[in-house]
Amino acid sequence: KQEVTQIPAALSVPEGENLVLNCSFTDSAIYNLQWFRQDPGKGLTSLLLIQSSQREQTSGRLNASLDKSSGRSTLYIAASQPGDSATYLCAVRLTGTASKLTFGTGTRLQVTL
Amino acid sequence: ETGVTQSPTHLIKTRGQQVTLRCSSQSGHNTVSWYQQALGQGPQFIFQYYREEENGRGNFPPRFSGLQFPNYSSELNVNALELDDSALYLCASSLGAGEETQYFGPGTRLLVL
């Protein structure tokens, strides 16, 4: 059974700092890994999707890496802003499992002025 | 803009009642997945519908059931509600069962008293 863990559970940083969020998964037979953002009480917004054959993806100030062999992914946020405050979730899709996503419990990020 | 809508936004029920939640997929999407997100947790996969047929199910009891209509809108039905069913229910649509990009709706917040 695939288990996804995210560390830390919560993080508070001052504006402008670079930060790293971690995600680990137990089954390396993944099809892809996705990072989402969730604002309080809202749905999910996809940030980055990394295919199993890729090592990283970048979008603006966000960079996600994937090390399938060690079962780890990181989300790097450069020059954090108060608007980045949200919960960040990683989710993996196993090969041969339709579109079922297995999510971690998330990292709650607060960026302070 | 994802185009996935859910109704109602909030709902309060009492234990033992039944509830129906609705989801309208993004235009052209024939696949809908439903997830349950308890407070402070990541979303958990309930089931997926592809062209009106169930196409995968997570670890949820039979009192969780669904429908997908010819226009690809979908319903999630929960019978005999329990207190632990209180959660945010999210639906996500995609172009096909193997399509990795899922677009999430804003969710329905269900409170069972």
For A96, name the nearest residue in chain B, comparing CA atoms only: B98
Q: Looking at residue B2, what is its pLDDT?
A: 52
Q: How far is A10 from chain B (nearest CA, A)?
A: 11
Q: What is the mean pLDDT of chain A?
A: 93
Q: What element of type H or E holds B90?
A: strand B87-94
With contacts defined as CB-CB under 8 Å, which chain A residues touch B94? 99
Per-residue pLDDT tens over the stretch B79-92 = 999 999 999 999 99
B50 vs A: CB within 8 A: yes
- Say if residue B1's pLDDT is above 80: no
With contacts defined as CB-CB under 8 Å, which chain B residues touch A93? 100
Residue B103: alpha-carbon gap to chain centroid: 13
Per-residue pLDDT tens over the stretch A40-77 = 888 899 999 999 999 999 999 999 999 999 999 999 99
Question: d(Cα A80, Cα A62) in Å, to the nearest integer?
Answer: 10
Q: Looking at residue A98, what is its pLDDT?
A: 64
Q: Categorize the per-residue pLDDT at B72 as very low, low, confident or very high, splitting at 50, 70 and 90.
A: confident
Per the listing, tokens 């958990």 go with B44
